[in-house]
Amino acid sequence: MKTYQRAEFISILIDSIKRGIYLKFCDKCGTYMKKTYEGFTCPRCGQHLETGSFEVKRPETSAPEPVYIVDSDRLDDQTVTQSCPNCDSNDAYRSILTTQGEHAGVKQDRTVERYTCVKCHHTWIKK
């Protein structure tokens, strides 16, 4: 009987699973059984194990529920009067962003106002 090192055995196991061959071990002697057309055969003691068929049951699935996507960014933003630099529209969404940073051990908070045109969706930051 050939003995395998752990790494070699794991390599054989992974290769078998990739090829769709599943491992079976003999109930009498514990040897790795070889796959045949009829089932599995033990090369050491000759025990034969026939493979039976089995039924795969899947849970019943209902129709998927619809998913509603809402552009929540626009619901939170305010509509203000700002002139768009791209199309000269006077309506824009205003969102306020806060950034935090640290430089030389000093924490800094910065507020940025970002505008998005209602008409052409151009985005700009007013300086």
Backbone angles phi, psi at 119, to 5 degrees: -80, -55
Q: Establish if 111 belongs to a structural domain.
A: yes
Q: What is the pLDDT of residue 27?
A: 83
Which domain covers residue 15, as residue numbers? 6-50
Q: Establish if 57 belongs to a structural domain.
A: no
Q: Establish if 66 belongs to a structural domain.
A: no
Q: Establish if 11 belongs to a structural domain.
A: yes
How many angstroms separate the CA atoms of 84 and 122, rounded?
8
> What single letter denotes the amino acid at residue 110?
R
For residues 44 and 77, state if they share a domain. Answer: no
Among 33-42, 72-81, 89-98, the range of highest mean pLDDT: 89-98
How many angstroms separate the CA atoms of 79 and 115, rounded?
9
For residues 76 and 120, state if they share a domain. Answer: yes
Q: Establish if 40 belongs to a structural domain.
A: yes
Total domains present in the chain: 2
Q: Establish if 29 belongs to a structural domain.
A: yes
CATH no. for residue 83? 2.20.25
Q: Tell me the per-residue pLDDT of 38-86, one tens digit each, with 9 for 90 and over.
A: 778 888 898 887 776 545 567 777 777 777 766 655 556 678 898 888 8
For residues 117 and 79, state if they share a domain. Answer: yes
Q: What is the pLDDT of residue 30?
A: 82
Q: Tell me the per-residue pLDDT of 101-123, one tens digit each, with 9 for 90 and over.
A: 888 888 888 888 888 888 898 99
Q: Establish if 120 belongs to a structural domain.
A: yes
For residues 77 and 120, state if they share a domain. Answer: yes
Q: Establish if 114 belongs to a structural domain.
A: yes
For residues 80 and 120, state if they share a domain. Answer: yes
Q: What is the pLDDT of residue 97?
A: 81
For residues 41 and 79, state if they share a domain. Answer: no
**Rounded mean pLDDT, 13-26:** 68
Q: What is the pLDDT of residue 73?
A: 54
pLDDT band for 17, please (50, 70, 90 cuts).
low
Side-chain-side CA neighbours of residue 68 (13 Å): 2
